[in-house]
Amino acid sequence: MNFDLTPEQKMIYEYGNSLAKQYDRKYWLACAEKKQFPQEMYQKVAEDGFVGMMVPEAYGGAGQGMTEMHLFLEGLSNNGIPLLSLVVGATMSVGFIAKYGTEEQKRRYLPDACKGKIRFCFAITEPTAGTNTIQITSIAKKKGDRYSLSGQKVFISDADGSDYALVVTRTIPHTEVKKKTDGFTLFILDLKKKGVQKTLIPVSITMPETQWQLFFDDVDLGPEDVVGEVDKGFGILFGSLNPERILVGAICCGLGRYALNKAVEYASERRVFNNVPIGSYQGLQHPLAASKTEIEMASLMTLKAAWVFDQGREAGEFSNMAKLAAADSAIRAVDAALQCFGGNGFTKEYGIFDLYPLVRLLKTAPLNREMILNYIGEHVMGLPRSY
């Protein structure tokens, strides 16, 4: 296997270094503290062709794959810039439409999405179902040749700034299907439609993407809004969740690497005892070295998961392992960096502690560590189902 990146892939990976010269972590933090979407940065990314990374060139995209999207997001995160909106918007929604949408849908939505003129969010989670998507109760009832959507979604990132949502709902209640995975349909929903309401969910994490509850009250949808087949959406849905795990893994690797790089820089200069840098003390050096090793191993797994996905093969095994390894290693990396900075690590001037709540969130979201371990135990190792 050749681990070398092509010149184009290197350019994609290093794009974050050039973007950070204009929109650095301080810019991202300023937006995050105000709960304000980083519109200027997002528009620059769109203009440079990265929002449409996984959209075919015929529809205004770059025509690249998951490997390139992974390299792009990890490269941004290496600079302390985690654009999570590009996971749920550019990949899970826009990339999904590029793969499964009708020709009309592709021509209507993709060019403007790639240019940053419109944004998408992804709506799947419900308060009563949580991780158990089978039990969602939102439903689009058939009315003639159209549908009426009612229900509720929760923890929908960037719903207030998005123009459209890719909504996962039932068209047959879970109590009426022969097979529990039947009866799912995905719709493109204009968030300005009558019957859609939004409520902010305050969260205790410094990030620019806000979280929302969505309420649907007899929202009118038509066959032109259906992505894929009616009642048959489950298969393509869960195949599309692997990219989310890969890209969250990429972001975790980048943020862990960013924290470690900051710690190395600080520990190489900071002197407390005997006029030698604190980085020469094994009590600090060894945790940093161990975390560096873990981050790079997790990064390799995310790269493998992205490559397997691009080959059209089943990527669940590697995607779940990548997300698990990356989230855990990012937490340990930020913790090791904090210990290295001492009290300075908790100040806004040094900006290290700000990383911790976000990487800790990514241990739980978008899929918690326990469910990932369940998947690996059952589907990879062949152990009995545990839930």
The model's pLDDT over 312-351, given as tens digits with 9 standing for 90+, comes to 999 999 999 999 999 999 999 999 999 999 999 999 999 9
Q: Give me 374's structure tokens.
A: 């369940």
- Per-residue pLDDT of 115-146, as tens digits, reads 999 999 999 999 999 888 889 999 999 999 99
7-118: CATH number: 1.10.540.10
Instruction: Grade residue 238 by pLDDT with cuts at 50, 70 and 90.
Output: confident
The torsion of the CA quartet 344, 255, 291, 310, rounded to 10 degrees, works out to 180
pLDDT for 359 beyond 70 = yes
Determine the CATH number of domain 235-380: 1.20.140.10
**pLDDT per residue as tens digits for the range 267-312:** 999 999 889 999 999 999 999 999 999 999 999 999 999 999 999 9
The answer to whether the CB of 209 falls within 8 A of the CB of 200 is: no
Average pLDDT, the chain: 95
Domain map (residue ranges) of the chain = 7-118, 121-231, 235-380
Query: Rounded distance, CA 73 to CA 144, Å?
Result: 44
Indicate the class that CATH gives domain 121-231.
Answer: mainly beta
**Close Cβ partners of 210 (under 8 Å, ≥ 6 residues apart):** 35, 157, 158, 159, 160, 161, 200, 201, 203
Q: In this model, does residue 1 exceed pLDDT 70? A: no
Half-sphere exposure of 64 (CA within 13 A, CB side): 21
- Is-above-0.75 flag for pTM? yes
What mean pLDDT is predicted for residues 40-50? 96
